[in-house]
Structure 1
Amino acid sequence: MIPVQGYAGQTVAILGFGRSGRATAVALQAGGAQAVVWDDSAATRDAAEADGYDLRDLTKAGAFEGVASLIVSPGIPHLYPAPHPVIAAAWAVGVPVDNDIGLFFQSFATADWDSFDTMPRVIAVTGSNGKSTTAALIHHILVENGRPAQLAGNIGRGVLDIEPAHDGEVVVLELSSYQTDLARALTPDIAVWTNLSPDHLDRHAGLGGYFAAKRRLFAEGGPERAIIGVDENEGRYLANQMAQGQGDDRIIQVSSGQKLTGPGWHVFARKGFLSEYRKDRQIGSIDLRAVPGLPGAHNHQNACAAYAACRTLGLGPRGIEAAMRSYPGLPHRSQIVATRGDVTFVNDSKATNVDSAAKALQAFPKIRWICGGLQKEGGLDGLLPHLGHVVKAYVIGREADQFARQLVGAEAEVCTTMDMAVAKATAEAQAGEVVLLAPAAASFDQYDNFEKRGEDFIRCVGS
């Protein structure tokens, strides 16, 4: 646990008492602050009170009297589509609003570090797709190479729930736009940008707001190294904004699909091979086709970003390659769950938007595609150029009919339920084909979250 610094003897309010809210309360109290909590759910409030936490109804007039700061859980809107009433009330009386990420960066460094031989480091990973895989892969490579490391943030443990840093330790954080948008302190040593595609547009009032939320990790914190995917204009813009000139090797540009040239530092993957170039000279290469936990071009981009992050920490190419080969992959992200009669079953339930699903469709040559769910803004037009590998689509979800009609050029069958979709796809699959769950939609019409959807797919495959 990271005791929060700067609030000893003060009262701090917490809005939202889920995983991050509870960890924040413990960390605040460990730092000498008094935490008062509120949640919109009566059941959650009752549970908090039963556990001994001090409830305060932050919706009432005068609730912020004597409060030094309001800490907000990431799922609560603070600006768009409208600020939560409690947040608006804090603004009105001048109480600073922050989140657990801001508290972490404010509190991570301590006086104990003066005795360390090697200062701890923080690597923060953001982007639309691949940030979980990239963060987990960086952590795996570090551990396999004997470097002490912790993984936290939007994956694994909450940021305030990790252990205080040891000498030379690296903390790897996955950060969502919800987390970077509000944090008052963002000071990673190394910041990683995977890519950008439309997502969470209602929460950020459009793509520009979404980009701005993620860009804060770089613009506000001024990382020593910035690793930036440049396969979209937003990444190219960000890399240009961060660099002081053509040869600025504080910026490492990464790509999947294009060769990067020039006097700077580049890591890219083409046709399954990762290459590292510095000053237009190749100094490292890895055959990613032999890495089972990282299938497809989208995972090769993740590999490039993770490779670059580890190189900035002084790891050698061969040590990184060996660790990549043992990387098992993450659940619900290009996860191979079974192979039967030369038919492979892949769970990519995390492909909740069009861009991530399109990348999954490019990873395999012949696909029986299970898709559908709660469709996001923008429609499915972005998928249409990538349906060439789809032998047939099996559409689930409450809006399966409408979803299927948009898959112009692909054979699609409305199945509605996961059980029916898996049964149909399994019965019709031929040798060499892949039964792929990559929904291109949210799960909330049928499941609590994408993990539950992926678990249901695994259950159906195994039954």
Structure 2
Amino acid sequence: MIPVQGVENQTIAVLGLGRSGRATAAALAEGGAHVVVWDDGADTRAQAQADGMTVLDLTRDASWEGVSALITSPGIPHLYPKPHPVIAKAYELGVPVDNDIGLFFRSFATRDWDQFDTTPRVIAITGSNGKSTTTALIHHILRESGRPTQIGGNIGTGVLSLDPAHDGEVVVLELSSYQTDLARALTPDIAVFTNLSPDHLDRHGGPGGYFAAKRRLFAEGGPDRAVIGVDEAEGRYLADQLSMGPADDRVIRISSGQKLERFGWSVFARKGFLSEYRKGRQVASIDLREVTGLPGEHNHQNAAAAYAATRSLGLAPREIERAFHSFQGLPHRSQTVAEIDGVRWVNDSKATNVDAAAKALTAFQRIRWIAGGMGKDGGIEALAPHLGQVVKAYLIGHSARDFALQIGQTPYEISETMEQAVARAAAEAQPGETVLLAPAAASFDQYPNFEKRGEHFTLLVKALTP
């Protein structure tokens, strides 16, 4: 646990008692604060009270007397589509609102660091797609190189549940737009922006607000090094805003597909090869085609981001390359779960939107595609340019028939359930083909989350193994 600093003898309110909320309450108490809590769920409040927490109805004005700050969980709206009533009350009363990320950045450094030989560092990763894989890959590279490291934030452990830093440790944080949007302190040593595609637009009041939330990671704290994906206009804008000119190597531009030679420092992947350029000269190259844990151009962009971040820490190219080959990927993200009779089975249940599904579909040849679920606004017509490698689609869930009308001449069948889709794909797949679960839809019609959907697919595939 990381005790929160600067809160001794203060009354701090915590809104939301999920994983991060409970960890925040504990870290505040460890820092000497008097903590009061509130959650909209009656059962959650009752459990908190049974656990010894002080539950206070923050919907009432009288409960705010003496409260010096409100710490809210990331999933609770603080502006759009409208602020939660408790947060609106804090604004009305002038009580500062923060989240656990803000508390982490103001509390991570301690006087103990004066005794360290090497100052701990924080790498923070944000973006629309690929940030979980990039975060996990950076952590994996550091661990394989023998560097002390922890991983947390939007993946794994909540930030305040991490251990206090060790000498020379690198903490790797995945940060969502919900987390960066509100944090009052954002001071990573290295900040990474992977890419941007439309998501969470209702929560941020549109695409501009969504990008602004991501941009705060770079604008608020001024990282020593910024790794910026420049395959979209927003990334190019951000890189330009942060640099003093093309030779400024404090900004490392990364790309999957573009050749970036004119900058002070760049890393890009093209045709399966990763290249590092400095001051217009190539200084390293890695063949990514046989890195099984990072298939496809989207994962090559993740590799470029992780490479740039770890090179910023002084790791050698060959050291990073070795770690690439031992990376197994994350569950539900282009994860190869089996190869049976020459057929590869890939679980990309995390591909819940069109952009993520498009990246998955371009990563493989001769695809039998399992798609469907709770379709999102706009449907999947935008996937048309990416269906050339699809031998046949097996459509499941609530939107199966809608999807069938949107995939043009691609052969398909309505499978309804995952069981039927897997069984039919297994009966028809030929050696050299890939059966790909990339739903392009949410899971909530049949599963509580994308993880459960991916786990069910994996279980069914494993049952096919002789």
TM-score by length of 2: 0.98
Please tell me the residue identity of whatever aligns with 1:346: V
CA contact (8 A) 2:375 2:398 kept: no
The yes-or-no answer on 1:193 pairing with 2:193 is yes
Q: Is the 8 A contact 1:201 1:377 kept in 2?
A: no
Q: Distance in 1 between matches of 2:289 and 2:447?
A: 34
Amino acid at match of 2:147: R
Aligned to 2:389: 389
- In the alignment, does 2:104 pair up with 1:104? yes
* 2:300 partner amino acid: H
Gaps spanning 5+ residues in structure 2: where? none
> Helix, strand or coil for the counterpart of 1:248?
coil
Aligned-partner Cα distance in 2 for 1:414–1:211: 37
Larger CA deviation: 32-41 vs 158-167: 32-41
Counterparts of 1:121-270 in structure 2 under 5 Å? Answer: 121-270=121-270
The secondary structure found in structure 2 opposite 1:36 is: strand
Q: Please give the secondary structure, in 1, of the residue aligned with 2:20.
A: helix
CA distance in 1, matches of 2:413, 2:177: 35
Which sits farther off after the overlay, 79-88 or 301-310?
A: 79-88
**Residues 4-36 of structure 1: per-residue CA shift (max 9 Å, x gap):** 011110111111101001110110011001111
Residues 1:379 and 2:369 aligned together: no
Aligned-pair distance for 1:462?
2.4
Counterpart mapping for 1:83-98 below 5 A:
83-98=83-98
| In 2, Cα distance between equivalents of 1:337 and 1:263 | 39
Separation (CA, whole Å) in 1 of partners of 2:204 and 2:411? 35
Q: 2:252 & 2:200 partners in 1: Cα distance?
A: 27
Determine the structure 2 residue equivalent to 1:449.
449
Taking every aligned residue pair, what percent have the same amino acid on both sides?
A: 72
Question: Paired residue for 2:335?
Answer: 335
Matches within 5 A, 1:7-18: 7-18=7-18
Q: Report the 3-state secondary structure (helix = DSSP H, G, I; strand = E; otherwise coil) of the residue aligned with 2:62.
A: coil
What do the CA deviations read for 1:208-252 (whole angstroms, capped 9, x no partner)?
111111111011111110000111111111111111111000000
Further displaced range: 439-448 or 86-95: 439-448
Deviation string 1:180-222 (CA, Å, 9 cap, x unpaired) is 1111111100000000111111111221111111111011111
1:326 shift after superposition: 0.7
- Mapped to 1, the partners of 2:124 and 2:445 lie a distance apart of 32
- What residue is the counterpart of 1:73 in the other structure? 73
Which residue in 2 is equivalent to 1:305? Answer: 305
**SS of match in other structure, 1:163:** coil
* Alignment-mate amino acid for residue 222 of structure 1: G
- Name the CA distance, whole Å, in 1 between partners of 2:198 and 2:128: 8
Shift, 1:409, TM fit: 3.1
CA drift at 1:381: 2.9
How much does 1:448 deviate? 1.4
The aligned residue for residue 407 of structure 2 is: 407
Please give the alpha-carbon distance, in whole angstroms, between the structure 2 residues aligned to 1:70 and 1:129. Answer: 30
SS in 2 for 1:329: coil
Give the match for residue 24 of structure 1: 24
1:356 aligns with 356
| Partner deviation per Cα, 1:148-178 (whole Å, 9 max, x = no partner) | 1100001110000000001111000000111
Equivalent residue number for residue 37 of structure 2: 37
1:60-109 Cα deviation digits (max 9, x unpaired)? 23222111111111111111111111111111101111110000001001
SS at match of 1:244: coil
Secondary structure of 1:165's counterpart equals coil
3-state SS of paired residue (1:388): coil
Q: 1:348 touches 1:454 (CA, 8 Å); kept in 2?
A: yes
Any idea what the Cα deviations from partners look like across 1:101-129, whole Å, max 9, x if unmatched?
00000100111111111111000000011
Q: Could you tell me whether the CA contact under 8 Å between 1:387 and 1:409 is conserved in 2?
A: no
Partner of residue 320, structure 1: 320
Alignment match, 2:436:
436
Q: Which amino acid aligns with 2:389?
A: H
The SS at the match of 1:425 is: helix
* Cα deviation digits, residues 127-158 of structure 1 (max 9, x gap): 01100010110011011111111000011100
Tell me if the contact between 2:134 and 2:303 (Cα under 8 Å) persists in the aligned partners.
Answer: yes
Equivalent residue for 1:113?
A: 113
CA distance, structure 1, for counterparts of residue 242 and residue 356 of structure 2 = 26
- Distance in 2 separating the partners of 1:405 and 1:263: 45
For 1:414, give the aligned amino acid.
Answer: I
- Equivalents in 2 of 1:252, 1:378: separation in Å? 34
| Distance (Å, rounded) in 1 between the aligned partners of 2:400 and 2:47 | 38
Q: Output the CA distance in 2 between the equivalents of 1:381 and 1:63.
A: 51
Q: Which whole-Å deviations, capped at 9, do the CAs of 1:422-458 have from their partners, x for residues lacking one?
A: 1111111111111111111121222111111111111
Q: Give the SS at the match of 1:45.
A: helix
The Cα shift of 1:379 comes to: 2.8
Structure 2 residue 464 is the aligned partner of structure 1 residue 458 = no
C-alpha distance in structure 2 between counterparts of 1:397 and 1:200, whole Å: 23
Aligned length: 463
Aligned-partner SS, 2:374 = coil
Q: Tell me how far apart the structure 1 counterparts of residues 402 and 42 of structure 2 sit (CA, whole Å).
A: 36
Distance (whole Å) between structure 2 residues aligned to residue 345 and residue 26 of structure 1: 43
Shift of the alpha carbon at 1:412?
2.5
In 2, distance between residues paired with 1:351 and 1:114?
Answer: 44
2-side partners of 1:373 and 1:81: how far apart? 25
How well do the aligned residues superpose, as a CA RMSD in angstroms?
A: 1.0
User: Deviations along 1:236-276, whole A, 9 cap, x unmatched?
Assistant: 11111111111000000001111112141010011111000
Q: Which stretches of structure 1, 4 residues or more, deviate above 6 A after TM superposition?
A: none
**Equivalent residue letter for 2:395:** V
CA distance in 1, matches of 2:416, 2:43: 32
- Aligned twin of 2:293: 293
The letter of the residue matching 1:353 is N
Amino acid at match of 1:271: K
Q: Distance in 2 between matches of 1:62 and 1:358?
A: 52
